[in-house]
A and B are shown apart, each in its own frame.
Chain A
Amino acid sequence: EAQVTQNPRYLITVTGKKLTVTCSQNMNHEYMSWYRQDPGLGLRQIYYSMNVEVTDKGDVPEGYKVSRKEKRNFPLILESPSPNQTSLYFCASSSLRQGAYNEQFFGPGTRLTVL
């Protein structure tokens, strides 16, 4: 089954404790992206990657890191989480076909609470 998986689905942590949220897709997609969703603000893009070893900042990259060592994986790293990073996080992937509207496939989301 074609899918994007994220782990963990729920996480409660404390300020300053490094954490990683994993994201993996089995569709051989070139493009992967991380979003955070907050009430009234919609989804905001944190980082995206066009291919292995190629990553770029989105609209709200501060406080986050990513890596793309393998095509299927795109982990999101919070080196020193703060309470303002409490949010619902989604990973997404899509192909990069030329001239086509490329559908983004989303993972189930990770609900993070930073105390």
Chain B
Amino acid sequence: RKEVEQDPGPFNVPEGATVAFNCTYSNSASQSFFWYRQDCRKEPKLLMSVYSSGNEDGRFTAQLNRASQYISLLIRDSKLSDSATYLCVVNPPPYGQNFVFGPGTRLSVLP
């Protein structure tokens, strides 16, 4: 089993739609969790960290379920500019050092 798994997609959704991505991780001792966004052939950029209590940033909501070892990202009211690949990132031990990236989920928001 891969350490971090994501549905590769692509997810093709119309503008204004709500879309959700899931990510599962295998190491139950993982401590920090993130969603990064990567545009085609560009560097990844932090979208949001994922806290135990869940967190929201505008149209984006991230949730963490430690018991089931999955992380989710919800995007509401999708914009054309949301088209990108979304990378789930997990930090198993050693904390702060070893970061494991999922393969990414590709999102295309269509007009």
Contact = CB atoms under 8 A, between A and B. Distances in A.
A44 B104 CA distance: 12
Contacts of B104: 42
Contact of B34 (A50, A58, A101): A101
Interface string B13-26: 00000000000000
A104 B9 CA distance: 25
Contacts, number: 48
B87 A108 contact: no
Most buried by A among B41, B43, B102: B43
Contact of B43 (A33, A56, A59, A106): A106
Nearest to A35: B101
Nearest to A43: B101
A96 B8 CA distance: 31
Contacts of A90: 43-44
For chain B, what secondary structure do more than half of its interface residues adopt (helix, strand, loop), or is it mixed? loop
A109 interface: yes
B45 interface: yes
Interface of B: 4, 8, 32, 34, 41-46, 49, 51, 87, 96-104
B41 to A, nearest CB: 8
A50 B44 contact: no
A42 B87 contact: yes
B96 A102 contact: yes
Contacts of B43: 90, 106-109
Contact of A42 (B41, B49, B103): B103
Contacts of A101: 32, 34, 49, 51
Nearest to B99: A45
